Structure 1
Amino acid sequence: MKKYFGLILLTIITVIAACKKSDDPEPKPPQPPVITEVNSLDEKAVIAYSPAFPTDDKEVTLIFNANEGNAGMKGLSTDVYIWAGVITDKSTGPSDWRWGKSSDWTKPDANAKLTKIAADKYQLKFVPRIFFSNVPANEKILKVAMVFKNADGSKTGRNTDGSDIYLPISSSGTLGIRFTSPVFNPFYEPTLVNSIANIGESTKLSVVASEKGKITLYVNGSEVKSAENVASFSTDVALTKTGDNEIKAVISAGGKTAEKKFNVVVKGQVEVAAIPGNAKPDGVTYINNGTSAIFTLLAPNKQNVFLIGDFTDWKMDIKGFMKKTTDGKRWWIQIDGLTPGEKYGYQFVVDGTLKVADPYCQLILDPSNDQYVPTSVFPSLKAYPTGKTSGIVSVAQSNEPSYNWKYTSFTRPDKSKLVIYELHLRDFLQTHSYSTLIDTLDYLTGLGVNAVELMPVNEFEGNNSWGYNPSFYFAPDKYYGTKNKLKEVIDECHKRGMAVVIDMVLNHSFGQSPMVQLYWNGTSGKPAANNPWFNTDAKHPYNVGYDFNHESAETKYFSKNVMEFWIKEYHLDGMRFDLSKGFTQKNNPDNVDAWGAYDATRIAIWKDYNSYIKNLDNNFYVILEHLGSDQEETELANEGMLLWNNVNGSFANATQGKSSSLSRIMYTSHGFTKSNLVTYMESHDEQRLMYHALNGGNSNGTYNIRDLATALNRQKMNAAFLFVAPGPNMIWQFGEQGYDISIDQNGRTGEKPIQWEYLQNASRKQLYDVYAKMVKLKTKTNWLDNATYTTSISNSAWKYMIIQSSAGKIVVVGNFDVSAQAVNFNFPSSGDWYEYAGSGSGTINLPAGTYNTTLAPGEYHVYTSSEVKP
């Protein structure tokens, strides 16, 4: 029902687990969360409550402070509601909210409105058992789970890291005690919380009990202080023992006792030492036949870092206290005694305030989203260490099973013959799995495409996503399958003569990223000014998430590592770089025109990246979603990079029978000297042409473009012109079947229906067949190689293209109007011409080489000077 995000706030001596993952497309600030348990109605926290030990049968006064946490509702003048459920003894975990206050999670309950008592402070008084009246009498309420929203749900108040808020419920008459300094998340008993202190550091300990009695504090089994007939007290202790220390509070009253305890690791001085020469500077290096591993983390200017994980029982142990390099930038430690092949979970605890996963790890465990990954898609996933830590966990495995590449002699298609099929696994296959994609590759082979482009496959926030909210760049997202199954996809594509391109998102990252979290300004809710990788504010107007600074040496280093890893590890043939125009440091966040203008520094950045890639693999496809000025794109194209060429608007007008120019399908109209444009009518980002046709098509008499068969025939004409254009082309999934579902259905990036049954429709199958013929003309023949072009494809109602090469001559002609058009122009030669594709007139003979006829609306032909059999 609800997603739970790990949360532990530790004060001077405590560690905050602030990693999370969310299906929400908006990034959540990764800074340390504000604790939800408090003692006083005046204490600053997301919520305050009274009494200190609420029960389900007595009134609780709850105050929500909109200034705290993520401050998502700060300054609102609208009503505030609590969206709430309960965690009971029947719940399966912290994400299993039960007996929600509202039966419809999209609407507030009228009885769940809070009363405003001060600026940004709202109060609710309720008796849990009455407030949640539908909870069965035999079901025990353990926690109240909540978030706060405005009436339409557009604004949400949560903890600072975006996690849900929990109020602990005690049993009536039960003796209880807890620490209020340090403070703990209600889902993690203090015995499970590990913290850190400096030797000799004075630390405040405060406790509160549910009734008066004798309270005693112990450190490592020795009594520190006690008091009679009290319900609370505080004291300071100085921890002088290096290593693990146990702190315990005991309450004795009326013949009963209760206790709480937690552990503190007291550290010594940080050791300064160089990373061993046999270790990589980033990530994990396995040595000694996999029985040892060296873990490293780039974290300049931090004071201390602990490695925790399965090998430390998730506690901060001295054996996990990391060394620092002499330049102060990296932290490292060697862990021995590992079992080769075993999977170990681990995290870094930085400066006693933040837990992060390894930015270089190749597998993560996500407590919020892994439960929705089917075992059929990702089998044998390591279990999350529930109850021992929180947030995203990295996984290390020495001697892991490697993939045996089978088809290593693959030759990539020449750029000029490239036809790319862009697909999104979630919306292309019912199982969203690599295994099913392998089974579907023959479909793409039949279409004739010679390259597959996968939308982002590295770890992104949540599961249900386009993938443009990335967080971990070296780990394939588990929602699609294992890393070796991804390698098998690539191998099987190579077997079929298809190159593989992945979509790489290095313009921005989201709040789950360890690199965002490591340097975060909790006051501003933005990356801190000293973040080595990210700008505090985005430098261009189309940014989402947090904007990488590609003039930073650390960002360049990281980006190149990402590129090199995917090229070498996955035998990729190319990358399509998302929002490449965003790789700028010119401050134009509000000026779209200025952002798109010529930018010499941005060109320098891309020339550097392109040069780095070419040194690794000279034939690698570097594809930019730049969509910038012709001047800038020309300069990039001259370096061998391919530029996305979006002609969706032109073909949308053409398909609707409106005035249209197709001139931009020609690289010469861009000022290019090379055909380095990936020209497409649709991508994941554009409205579908069939939707345009069926919802905005013109008509004339009985000819109506909004008729399905008519609209499909016009897509054939579009394909005839697109695929003879010089240079690479791209197809967005199911365009070859006339996919007509709006891009905005279920939200722009939301799931779309998968319509494989389209092929059962004869008209749609005919469209597929025309696509296949036109694609194969480019990919399987030499008729378009080194061709010369004569075109009339601007704003006239009917258009033609004449293509001549050493293989022969091609003429494409079509009427994009909704009325018949008289057509008269000269073919390149007289004699017989063979219809390769078109409206069915077959072979024609032109004694004088003049083509003089009338084309019906939507009629088109592709003629060749001799028969072509691709």
Structure 2
Amino acid sequence: MKRIYLVVLILSVLATACKKGKVSPESAGPVTPVTPVIPVDAIPSLPAAAKDGVVFINNGASAIVTLYAPYKKSVALIGEFNDWQPTAMKNTADGNIWWVQIDNLNPSIAYAYQFLVDDNLKVADPYCEKILDQLNDSYIDQTTYPGLKAYPTGKTTGIVSVMQANQPTYTWKSTSGFTRPAKNNLVIYELLIRDFTVEHNYSSTLQKLDYLVGLGVNAIELMPVNEFEGNLSWGYNPSFYFAPDKYYGTKTALQNFIDECHGKGLAVILDMVLNHSFGQSPLVQLYFDQPSGKPLAISPWFNTNSNIHPYNVGYDFNHESAATKVFAKNVMKFWMQEYKIDGFRFDLSKGFTQKGSSDDASFSAYDASRVAIWKDYNNYIKSIDANNFYLILEHFADAAEEKVLADEGMMLWNGLNVNMNEATMGWSANSDFSWAFFTRHGFTRSENLINFIESHDEERTMYKNLNYGNATGSYSVKDLAVALKREEMAAAFLFAVPGPKMIWQFEELGYDVSINYNGRTGNKPIHWEYFQQTERKALYDAYAKFINMKKKNSIFNATDAIYNLTAGIKYIKLTEGTNTVVVIGNFDVSSKDTNVDFGASGIWYDASTGSQMTLNSTMYTKTLAAGEYHIYSRMPLNGG
């Protein structure tokens, strides 16, 4: 009788404490949690083996499943292991973590499961490595994802998570012997799996690695590959951060892709989207106010208002929140360790702020809190992998702020699309791309500035050349052959600027389909036949030559640079020791006279033509035809 009375008493106390100490998710106002009045010996403590999400014990026969969900009244686990009947989860003393141990599992079986929260909300596990999507999985073919588990139709609704103790594992081969390229010699190829091959998967992309090796790039930057909403996406609408999107292939296929890249000397950089998430995310759903269509004020991760800055989409993470910091760091650590990647490119890194602003000028102003957030994340990444790991920011903020981040070793995007495209089109007025030089940013090292002409986010330069190019007489930039040669000239200048570079996929073939074709983020035509076309293949070969010269000649990372990029005649002069390189070109659409001090007379080698030139004085005076360029050097260039 005493035991029965004690049990009843404990249950009564627990019930009372739950009423007093838990806050309803429907309350959108600020909340001060009440400390539960529960005897310490009656509180189910979190097992030592537990971690966020699922951890298997007892050789996979048992699983401890946890969910961070403060202020909830109840959480239950439902899934194939209990025929979708709720198994109540226990709550820790602080009310933050819910957990339960599930026994009698078959380690070889993949179990579908969800959390049932407050008896009315079903969500998948935010830490799961695989999801099932009733709406979109049917469009994933067996070649891309063989043996995909069927959705448990009739048992539940919404996104379902999957756990398996003995899941397929990948045996790494090449990673241990791979050395990441030095930052200054980094040449990145940005790639969207969906639009790179017709099959849109890791296996088909692997078949094109020799094409990239031939081009000379030494890193691949994959646009987001973690689960995003739908299938046909750029990936900037993320929902699950630990699960690779099945539309591109399996987990082991992605690991194999990275391994094979390493085997061919290619680093792999992942595009990481931690500024925001979308409504499919369980983190969003757990604290969401349906009437207002906004996250609740008690959300541990998200701001109630997503328009804290002018470029936000989806629901805005609050990176001042401790819960967000923990989650973000867990995501980073997972991809670094589980997939052995070499770097992150952080999307919209300027958005990691709580300072509201409605215009870009205010948004871009120096923000000490944002700097502190990025220093913290950078130090965390270094604590996991200090071996030349690439942390790349899409920042575009105040130069003083970017300098602080660069001084910490972070790398920053620097887009040249507008000005360089004006130059290739033959319009001189806005064609100065001298912002490409790291000294213009106040940086002390060129390795911290990644220059590019195109990224996924800009209009394709060849499209604008062919549609809006300038013309004089019979010379017209709208002519395909002329436009391609001007792209070649622009590339010669790009790779002459010291520091790392990035190329957008098929830029090296003069891809000329507008970014707005089929909608900005819609599928784009895949033109591998361009590689067989003589004039386009010549552009590829020129890119390969410039990249090879950059990697083999240290002068292209020289800190001594003189340049004039304002008018039709543009030049860059680099000096290292006794060698000098001058890249000079006519971006006008008519012939122009030049008068440039080369600094030395005598023989100069022209890497663009393979010929030699003799200067009788230090001055280079010559009439350059429209679109004509040269790469002169005092000593022959390796790979030139």
Q: How does the TM-score come out when normalised to structure 2?
A: 0.91
**1:598 equivalenced with 2:370 (yes/no):** no
How far apart, CA to CA, are the structure 2 residues paired with 1:583 and 1:599?
10
Residue among 380, 396, 416 paired with 1:647: 416
Cα shift at 1:847: 3.0
Residue in structure 1 matched with residue 205 of structure 2 by the alignment: 437
Aligned with residue 813 of structure 1, among 584, 596, 604: 584
Q: Which residue of 2 aligns with 1:377?
A: 144
Alpha-carbon spacing, 1:520–1:286, altered in 2? closer, same or farther (3 Å)? same
1:322 aligns with 2:89: yes
How many residues get paired? 595
Specify the SS of the correspondent of 1:631: helix
The question of 1:624 aligning with 2:393 is answered yes
Q: After superposition, what is the alpha-carbon deviation per residue over 1:385-431, rounded to whole angstroms, capped at 9, x for unaligned?
A: 11111111100010222211111121111111111000101111111
Asked if the contact 2:301–2:323 (Cα under 8 Å) also holds between the matched residues in 1, the reply is yes
1:308 aligned to 66, 74, 78, which one?
78
Deviation at 1:780, TM superposition (A): 3.6
Separation (CA, whole Å) in 2 of partners of 1:806 and 1:477: 50
Q: CA contact under 8 A between 2:488 and 2:539: conserved in structure 1?
A: yes
Instruction: Give, as a single letter, the amino acid of the residue that structure 1 aligns with 2:443.
Output: F
Aligned: 1:334 with 2:101: yes
Aligned counterpart, 2:19: none
Counterpart contact for 1:785–1:805, Cα < 8 Å: no
Task: Within 5 Å, give how 1:500-649 maps onto structure 2.
Answer: 500-538=268-306, 539-588=308-357, 590-618=358-386, 619-649=388-418
Letter in structure 2 aligned against 1:283: G
Q: CA deviation at 1:849?
A: 3.1
SS in 2 for 1:544: coil
Counterparts of 2:204 and 2:299, CA distance in 1: 41
Corresponding residue to 1:453 among 191, 216, 221:
221
> Structure 1: how far apart are the matches of 2:572 and 2:553?
18
Cα distance in 2 for partners of 1:561, 1:650 equals 39
Partner deviation per Cα, 1:800-833 (whole Å, 9 max, x = no partner)? 1111225832110000101100011122322222
Q: Does 1:833 align with 2:622?
A: no
Task: Say if 1:695 and 1:706, in contact at 8 Å, map to a contact too.
Answer: yes
Q: In terms of mean alpha carbon deviation, does 462-471 or 628-637 score higher?
A: 628-637
Name the counterpart of 1:760.
Answer: 532
User: How many angstroms apart in 1 are the aligned matches of 2:559 and 2:263?
Assistant: 29
Look up the match of 1:391.
158
CA RMSD, Structure 1 to Structure 2 (Å):
1.5
CA deviations on 1:24-67 (whole Å, 9 max, x unpaired) are: xxxxxxx99xxxxxxxxxxxxxxxxxxxxxxxxxxxxxxxxxxx
Tell me the alpha carbon deviations over residues 418-470 of structure 1, each in whole angstroms, 9 at most, x when there is no partner. 11000101111111100011111111100000110000000000000000000
Following superposition, the deviation at residue 509 of structure 1 comes to 0.2
Kindly provide the CA deviation profile for residues 215-268 of structure 1, in whole angstroms up to 9, marking residues without a partner as x.
xxxxxxxxxxxxxxxxxxxxxxxxxxxxxxxxxxxxxxxxxxxxxxxxxxxxxx
Between the aligned partners of 1:627 and 1:544, the Cα distance in structure 2 is: 17
Distance 1:626 1:271 in 2: 50
C-alpha displacement of 1:851: 1.3
Query: Of 236, 244, 253, which aligns to 1:468?
Result: 236
Contact 2:239 2:277 in 1 (8 A): yes
Preserved CA contact (<8 Å) 2:391 2:410: yes
Secondary structure of 1:471 counterpart: coil
What SS class does the counterpart of residue 476 from structure 1 fall into?
coil
The alignment partner of 1:278 has SS state of coil
| TM-score relative to the length of structure 1 | 0.67
1:748 aligns with 2:520: yes
Counterpart in the other structure of 1:661: 432
Write the letter of the residue equivalent to 2:598: F
Query: Aligned with 1:460: secondary structure?
Result: coil
Q: Which has the higher strand share?
A: 1
> C-alpha separation between the residues in 2 aligned to 1:315 and 1:777?
65
The change in CA–CA distance for 1:518 and 1:400 in structure 2 (over 3 A counts) is same
Report the Cα distance in structure 1 between the residues aligned to 2:577 and 2:82, rounded to whole angstroms: 70
Counterpart among 410, 419, 428 of residue 196 in structure 2? 428
The aligned amino acid for 1:427 is: D
Question: Higher helix share goes to which structure?
Answer: 2
Q: 2:551: which partner in 1?
A: 779
- Partner Cα separation in structure 2 for residue 595 and residue 662 of structure 1: 24
User: CA offset at residue 787 of structure 1?
Assistant: 4.3
State yes or no: 1:400 paired with 2:167. Answer: yes
Residues 632-662 of structure 1, C-alpha deviations (whole Å, 9 max, x = no match): 1111111100010011111111011112102
Q: In structure 2, do the counterparts of structure 1 residues 711 and 277 end up closer, same or farther at CA, with 3 Å as the change threshold?
A: same
Q: 1:570 to 1:841 in 2, by over 3 A?
A: closer
Give CA-to-partner distance per residue, 1:830-867, whole Å, 9 cap, x none: 22222212xx4822111323211100011111122232
Deviation of 1:736 after TM superposition, in Å, equals: 0.3
The answer to whether the 8 Å contact 2:187/2:219 transfers is: yes
- Stretches of structure 2 that go unaligned for 5 or more consecutive residues are 1-24, 27-40
1:497 and 1:832 map into 2 onto residues whose CA distance is: 36
Structure 1 SS opposite 2:236: coil
Which residue type is aligned with residue 378 of structure 1? Y
| Distance of 1:813 and 1:781 partners within structure 2 | 18
1:799 counterpart letter in structure 2: K
The Cα offsets for residues 152-177 of structure 1, whole Å up to 9 and x where unpaired, read as: xxxxxxxxxxxxxxxxxxxxxxxxxx
Task: Give the equivalent residue in structure 2 for 1:57.
Answer: none
Partners of 1:706 and 1:842 in 2: CA distance: 30
Shift of 1:373: 0.6
Letter in 2 for 1:635: V
Is 1:845 the counterpart of 2:614 in the alignment? yes
Q: In 2, Cα distance between the equivalents of 1:438 and 1:275? A: 44
Output the CA distance in 2 between the equivalents of 1:569 and 1:780.
Answer: 33
Paired residues of 1:603 and 1:636 also in contact (CA < 8 A): yes
In structure 2, the partner of 1:496 is 264
CA contact under 8 A between 1:307 and 1:349: conserved in structure 2? yes
Mapped to 1, the partners of 2:339 and 2:573 lie a distance apart of: 41
Q: For structure 1, which segment, 352-361 or 817-826, has the greater mean C-alpha deviation from structure 2 after superposition?
A: 817-826
Q: Is the CA contact (8 Å cut-off) linking 1:832 and 1:845 kept in structure 2? A: yes
How far did residue 730 of structure 1 move?
Answer: 0.4
Counterpart of 2:65 in structure 1 is: 295
332, 343, 352: which one pairs with 2:119?
A: 352
Cα distance in 2 between the residues matched to 1:582 and 1:575: 16
1:796 equivalent in alignment to 2:564: no
After TM superposition, list the pairs within 5 Å mapping 1:163-312 onto structure 2. 272-280=43-51, 282-312=52-82
Q: 1:314 to 1:393 in 2, by over 3 A?
A: same
Q: Secondary structure at the match of 1:475?
A: coil
The percent of aligned pairs where both chains have the same amino acid is 58
Inter-partner Cα distance in structure 2 for 1:609 and 1:790: 36
Q: 1:784: Cα distance to partner? A: 2.0
2: CA distance, partners of 1:807 / 1:545: 55
Contact kept, 8 Å, 2:59 with 2:107, in 1: the verdict is yes
CA displacement at 1:271 relative to structure 2:
7.4
- Deviation of 1:377 after TM superposition, in Å, equals 0.4
Indicate the SS of the match to 1:345. strand
Code of the residue aligned with 2:80 in structure 1: it is D
CA distance in structure 2 between the aligned counterparts of 1:807 and 1:283, rounded to whole angstroms = 60
Task: Answer whether contact 1:782 1:807 (CA < 8 A) is retained.
Answer: no
For 1:774 and 1:806, how far apart are their aligned partners in 2? 21
Cα distance in 1 for residues equivalent to 2:557 and 2:42: 64
Matches within 5 A, 1:666-681: 666-675=437-446, 676-681=448-453
Residue 552 of structure 2 contacts residue 638 of structure 2 at CA under 8 Å; is this kept in 1? Answer: no
Do the aligned partners of 1:574 and 1:620 also contact (CA within 8 Å) in 2? yes
Deviations 1:257-282 (A, max 9, x none): xxxxxxxxxxxxx97312111222x0
Q: What does residue 180 of structure 1 align with?
A: none
